[in-house]
Structure formats: C-alpha cells, structure tokens
Structure 1
C-alpha cells in the first residue's frame, strides 16, 4: 500500500495529498509530526528514496539554522536528529513497495505509483 508522510499545516504537503486522492489509489496518510518515525522507519524510507539523511533536511527551518547549520554529523547522528525533530524532514514523502519520492511537485509521486 502507498503511504504518504504528511503535514496538514504545509501547503506543499496538502497539494500532494490532494493529488494522491485524485489518482484514486488506496493509500495511508501518516502525520509524522504527531507520531514520529523510528530510526529504522526513516532508514527504510531513505533506502527507497536513494538518499542520505542530510539530503532530506528542510534547511529553512529555524532549528536547523540556529542549531545545525555548518555542523557535521554522521548519517546515524542525522537519523537521530531527524527522528527527534521531524519538522526538519522534507515533505510530503510518498512511499511505495520499492520506491519513495519527496513529492515536490506532486506529479513526482507517479514514479512510485506506476
């Protein structure tokens, strides 16, 4: 089943959810700010994205700018930082059986659904 990691307060995430609904496929909405991802869940998503943890960071977030910018962390350290601060994760992320995408623009999710 398709999963969308969604933040209802984010315009891009709402656009992604609307686009996914328009496709008429079964999917599950996961509001990852309410229930944080585990390190293992995030590791699996990153594997499907083909990205490293520091490649999915929202660098415009105040916490990133004040606390993390220009600091160097290992991938494992980034995984912990992101699970403890999920607002730093780009969204929406759409995850299929084998692949995942950061659905900006929403049409990118077609790569996962097809």
Structure 2
C-alpha cells in the first residue's frame, strides 16, 4: 500500500499527492502534522529512506533556527525534535512496501509507484 506523509499547505506535497492519484493505485494519506509519527515510525521511515535524521529535517523552519540550529544533536535527539515539532519533517514522504522517497522534486515519487 502506498502511503504519503502529506501537508496540504505545501505545494510539493500537493503535487506529490496528484502524482499518486493519477497512478490509479490505492493509497493512504497521513496528515503528519495532526497524526505525528512516533519515534519508532520515524526510525522506520529513515531506514526505508536510507538517510540519517538530520537529512529529514527542514532547516529553514523557524522552530529549527530558534531551538536547534548550531547545536550538536544526536540521532535520537533529532528524532525527538521531529516528534515534538512535526513541522520539521521534510515533505512529502511516500512509502510503497519496502521503498520510500522524499518527493522533492515530486517526480521522484513516480520511481516507487
């Protein structure tokens, strides 16, 4: 099952959702700002994406600059920051079985659907 971690206010996320809809395949939308992934879910996503936590963080967000920028944080602390402040999570993330991509650019989503 295809799953998109979606923020409807983000144009890249909306474009990614359109790509999935156009595929005609079944999918699930996770509104991650309301239904924040747990630490375990984030660890699974990082594993599927084959990246570290820092690579999943949106560093231009005010909450990052105000609370975390310039600090030497562990992987665990970065994951905890994303759970506490889900706005920090890069978007959209799309999973399909054992594959996942960050949809930037949104066309990358086509690689796994």
TM-score of the pair, normalised by structure 1 = 0.95
Q: Unpaired segments of 5 or more residues in structure 1?
A: none
After TM superposition, the structure 1 = structure 2 runs for residues 11-90 of structure 1, keeping only pairs within 5 Å, are 11-90=11-90
Number of aligned positions between the proteins: 113
Single out whichever of 24-33 and 104-113 deviates more from structure 2: 104-113
Q: Hey, which bits of structure 1, 4+ residues long, moved more than 6 A? A: none
Name the structure 2 match of 1:102: 102
Q: Unpaired segments of 5 or more residues in structure 2?
A: none
RMSD of equivalent CA atoms: 0.8
What SS is found at the alignment partner of 1:22? helix
Matches of 2:6 and 2:59, distance apart in 1: 18
Matches of 2:110 and 2:22, distance apart in 1: 12
Name the structure 1 match of 2:6: 6
